Amino acid sequence: MLSFTFRLPTTLVFGPGRLNELETTTFLPQGRKAMLVCGASGNILRQGYLDRVQGLLAARGVKSVVFDQVRANPRTEDVDAAAAKAREMGVDFVVGIGGGSVLDSAKCIALAAANEGLFWENMLGQKYADAKGLPVVAVPTTAGTGTEGNAVAVLCGPEGKRGFVHPAFSPVLALIDPELTRSVPQRLTAITGMDAFFHAVECFLSTARQPMTDMLCLEAAHLVTRFLPQAVDDGNDINARTALAWASTAAGMCLSLSSPISQHALEYSFSGSNPKAEHGAGLVLLCRPYFARLIKLARNHDETSDRLLNLAVAMGFGAGEEEDEAGHPFLNALEALLEAVGLSDMLPGDMGFHASAVPQYVEAAMKLKDSRQFQNTPVPMNEADVRAIFEGVFSPS
């Protein structure tokens, strides 16, 4: 029986060139001092995005404090350092400018800055249960995580990589300007685009799904399949970049309205163990054996089987047909997409992952067996299934 909760507290300002509205929008949080959060790579500074945001805020009388030490697969110690700085400087709100790691860090910084203590300890100790954070403004510069549209943040800490959900993580304002993604290089465009794709696929299959997510997920899966190859081929194609930016945000919204499934929990074993690993790349490595296993487990689960076929149709494959000698339509569509964006030949060794570490990957994944990712997977997956998936990454059939 249909039962769900729908809540999206974020104002989305979407479209090419709309970053300029940061100077005039009435949705900006109240305050005279903002912390601008960006990555340690320096790319946001080199592209001129940091100066641009600082100028737009200054034009309306908002001073800025910069924290530019966010790493890929962001660390809880960086959040604590930034939060301490925000408290010391009397910051009124936080602006994240960058990819998913930066925006997730900005969310965590905003919550930690408004409350005493260390973020990781407070979060795992349930001390943030009723806590409020500083307001967050999100300015994404990649099209992948969609974190600008949800109340989710992913962070690395002593127990590994974890995804957290908290009402304070929902940005009050998200300025999604596809023009900012034109500088993203080919490979990163492909990897972040596949991250958005898997958000859509997983949330569509999730038992936490609802009518709104069904629509958004199918739309996002279709848009990524249609436009990601174009953006990889021509990074200046603003039509493709705009379609992908919306696909990313739409799928990101579904991470709060629905839930990812265990593919994400398994991937945390990869990028949580290797700080240089890209989350989207880990999902690509897992996707073939993961969905092959899911399809096998779902053979007697009609609703999940039907949904996999619906996804294939959204990707332009299958027309509702069952699996035949050519293989399952969804797996065929997935393989075609990976080939079209240049990721079909990715090897785990290229990412620093090795077959000898499979027991460690399985152990790390099973620590999340009580997480929403596992709990919302439409068919049960046990440790044997998880082991078979990881082994499939290193021994593809």
Gap between the Cα atoms of 115 and 127, Å rounded: 9
Which regions of the chain carry the CATH code 1.20.1090.10? 186-394
In terms of pTM, does the model score above 0.85?
A: yes
CATH-assigned architecture of domain 186-394: Up-down Bundle (1.20)
pLDDT (tens digit, 9 = 90+) per residue, 92-123? 999 999 999 999 999 999 999 999 999 999 99
- Among the ranges given (55-59, 193-197, 202-206, 393-397), the one the predictor scored with the smallest mean pLDDT: 393-397
For 248, residues 6+ apart whose C-beta sits below 8 A from its C-beta are 140, 142, 143, 144, 145, 146, 192, 193, 195, 196, 220
pLDDT (tens digit, 9 = 90+) per residue, 283-333? 999 999 999 999 999 999 999 999 999 999 999 997 656 666 678 999 999
Structural class in CATH, domain 11-181: alpha beta
pLDDT band per the 50, 70, 90 thresholds, residue 397: low
Which regions of the chain carry the CATH code 3.40.50.1970? 11-181
Residue 318 has what pLDDT?
72
Residue 8 has what pLDDT?
86
Using an 8 Å Cβ cutoff, are 175 and 10 in contact? no
Gap between the Cα atoms of 33 and 220, Å rounded: 36
Residue 325 has what pLDDT?
63
Q: Percent of the chain at pLDDT above 70?
A: 97
For residues 208-218, give the mean pLDDT. Answer: 96
Per the prediction, the chain carries an average pLDDT of 95
Residue 5 has what pLDDT?
80
Residue 47 scores a pLDDT above 70 = yes
DSSP symbol at 252: H
